[in-house]
Structure 1
Amino acid sequence: MQTQHVLTPNLDIACETHGPSTGDPIILLHGFPYSPRAYDDIAPALAAKGYRVIVPYLRGYGPTRFNSPATLRSGQQAALAQDLLDLMDALAIKQAALCGYDWGGRAACIVAALRPERVRCLVTGDGYNLQNIPRSTQPLDPQTEHRLWYQYYFHTPRGVEGLTQNRRALCELLWRLWSPTWAQNAERYPLSAPAFDNPDFVDVVIHSYRHRFTYAPGDPALEWMEEALTRQPAISVPTISLCGADDGVGPAPEVDEDAEHFTGPYERRVLAGVGHNIPEEAPEATLRAILDLLKG
C-alpha cells in the first residue's frame, strides 16, 4: 500500500493505493464517521487479483486538505460527487468500478446516476443513496426520527461545540449505536479515529447535516448538480446493494424500497449480523459483491 496525493481543483486528496497502476481501476469510498481503514481486508485482496485500487480520504478526513481557505467547507452530496469526478479526472481514469457506503456511497451513487459512462459497476451500501432534499422537511415516523438525533444535534450551536470538543467520543458512540452487534467496535475504532482530527472535519460534517435539511446554503458552483438530483435520477449501471440487517441508523426494510431507482442489472443482499459499517464488518461479502459485478 502506498499513499498518493492527488491535486484536484478544490482539494489535495490523500489516497491509499494498492496494486498495479495498469490494472482496471476500483475506487473504494468510506463514509461518516469512518476512514479508509474500512477497506483494510478488501483493498489488498483486490490488488492481489491485479486491480488498481484507490481508497481516498474524503474531504475533511485524514491528510486530505482544501487548496484554498476561501473554499466553502461544504459537505453537501454534490460536493462529494464532484470530488470523486475530479479525482478520476486527475488520475486520468475514464471509467472505474465504485464501492461506497454512507457518504462515500452517496458520492458513488450520484456519479453512477449522472455520469454512468464513468462507472463500470457499483456496490452501494444501503441502496439508493441520493438525498431528496426538497422532501427533507417532511417528518418521518418517530422511530426513524429518533435514530437521526445526531443530525438534529448538529443543527444547533451546542452540537457544533459538542462535535468540536468531543469528536472522538461522539464518533465512537455513533460506531456503537450503528453497529450494535459488531464485536470489533472497540478494537477497530482507534484505527479510524485519527482521521477525524483533520482541521476541516467539523465544518464539513456540520455543513453536510445542515444542507440536507435546507438549513445551510450549498456551493453555488454545484447548484446545477443539486438541481439534477432533485429529479432523483435512476441508476442504470450494474449494481449490488449491501444492507446491514442490524444497521442502527437505517435497518434494512423487509421490502426493497429502492429497487425502482435502478434500471440496470440490480440485486439487493441483506447481510445478517451486520450494522452500518458494511465493508469493515463484512469484508468477505463486500469483496464478493465487487468481484461478482466485475466478472459479470
Structure 2
Amino acid sequence: MNNDALIHHALTPHLKLAYEQHGPTTGDPVILLHGFPYSPRAYDDIAPVLAGKGYRVIVPYLRGYGPTRFNSPDTLRSGQQAALAQDLLDLMDALNIRQAALCGYDWGGRAACIVAALWPERVRCLVTGDGYNLQDIPRSTRPLDPETEHRLWYQYYFHTPRGVEGLTENRRALCQLLWKLWSPTWAEGPERYPLSTSAFDNPDFVDVVIHSYRHRFMYVEGDPALESIEEALTRQPPINVPTISLCGADDGVGPAAEIDDDIEHFTGSYERRVLPGVGHNIPEEAPEATIRALLDLLER
C-alpha cells in the first residue's frame, strides 16, 4: 500500500468496503476505480497529485479485492456489472457524496460508465479506460472474429471447473501472465506487479472473478436484486456526462481500434485519446495522461 494512504471502511448494504483516501475531506470528490486483476496501486502516482490540488480522492478496493469484505456469508459473490455499479453508488451514499468525478478502467471503468449512464446526476465527469464499457450481455453469445476470440482465452478458461481450480491454485502466476500479455510494452510491469498481489488474496476473489466471467456470457444467473439494473443495461443507454476515453495503443486484450466505434454511445462532450506505448493498465502505465484527462474535465 502507498505509505501515504490509510485504509478506511464504508459500511454499505452488502459490503464493508475498503478504500484509500487522499486530500482534504472537504475537497471536490474524485473516485478512482481499478480493474481485474489490478488494485488501488494503479493510482499511486495519480491520487497524491489530485490531493495536492485540493481534491478529495477516494480509491476503493472492489468487491473480492484486498480488505473489502461481504457483510453476510449468504450474499451471492457476484461479479456482474450491475453489482460493481451498485457498489459504487452505495459507497457514494455511505460517504455522503452527492456527485463525484469518476475515473476507471476494466471492471472499474465498467462501474463508472454504468453509473454515468443510469445516474448521470451523480457524475460530474468521467475518464474511462477503453470507451463505453457496458457489456451487451444479450448479444454476448455471438462469435467474434478469431483474433479477438483468441485474446479472450482467459474468460473461456474461467467458464470451466479447470479454470476455477487454476485460478484458485495459481492466482498470482495467472494474474502475472495477464499483466504481461495485456501490457506487452510496459517495462515497469514486472516491478510493479508484486505491489498488487496481496489484493488477490481476498477470500472472495476467485468466486467474484469466476461469476463475473460466467455471467457476462449468460452461463450463470445474476443477483435477483440487481435485475432492474441489468434490464436497463440491455438497452445500452448513452452516456451524456463530459467524458474523455483513454485507450492504450498496445493493449493486449482490447487494442485501440483505428476508428472509434464507441462514439455513438456518448451524447455529451466527448473526446478519445489513444496513448502510444500504453497497454491495458492505463492509469498505472500512463499516470500523467490520466491526470491530464481528469484535470482537463475538472478545470473546465
Distance 2:49 2:37 in 1: 24
Within 2, Cα distance between the matches of 1:23 and 1:287? 17
Unaligned runs of 5+ in 2: none
CA distance in structure 2 between the partners assigned to 1:207 and 1:3 by the alignment: 26
Matched, 1:283 2:287: yes
Match of 1:22 in 2: 26
Superposed CA offset, 1:93-137 (max 9, x none) = 000000000000000000000000000000000000000000000
Task: Please give the per-residue CA displacement for 1:147-190, whole angstroms capped at 9, x wherever unaligned.
Answer: 00000000000000000000000000000000000001110000
Matched, 1:123 2:127: yes
Of the candidates 190, 209, 212, which is equivalent to residue 208 of structure 1? 212
1:186 and 2:176 are equivalent in the alignment: no
Q: Which amino acid aligns with 2:106?
A: D
**Which among 93, 107, 115 is matched to residue 103 of structure 1?**
107
Q: C-alpha separation between the residues in 2 aligned to 1:11 and 1:278?
A: 27
Give the Cα–Cα distance (whole angstroms) in 2 for the partners of residues 186 and 134 of structure 1.
Answer: 37
**Unpaired segments ≥5 residues, structure 1:** none
Q: Which residue of 2 aligns with 1:2?
A: 6
Which residue is equivalent to 1:161?
Answer: 165
Aligned 1:1-296 pairs, distance under 5 A: 1-296=5-300
- Once residues 266 and 64 of structure 1 are traced to their aligned partners in structure 2, the CA distance between those partners, rounded to angstroms, is 33
Equivalent AA in structure 1 for residue 20 of structure 2: E
Runs of 4+ with >4 A deviation: none
TM-score (structure 1 length as normaliser):
1.00
Aligned length: 296
Q: The residue matched to 2:268 in structure 1 has which SS?
A: coil
Note the alpha carbon deviations across 1:205-258, whole angstroms, 9 max, x for none: 000000000001000000000000000000000000000000000000000000
Report deviation, 1:2: 2.2
Q: Deviation of residue 3 (structure 1)?
A: 1.5
Q: Secondary structure at the match of 2:196?
A: helix
Equivalent position amino acid for 2:123 in 1? V
Rounded to whole Å, the distance in 1 between the matches of 2:17 and 2:47 is 18
Task: Tell me, in whole angstroms, the C-alpha distance in 2 between the residues paired with 1:287 and 1:33.
Answer: 22
Code of the residue aligned with 1:261 in structure 2: it is H
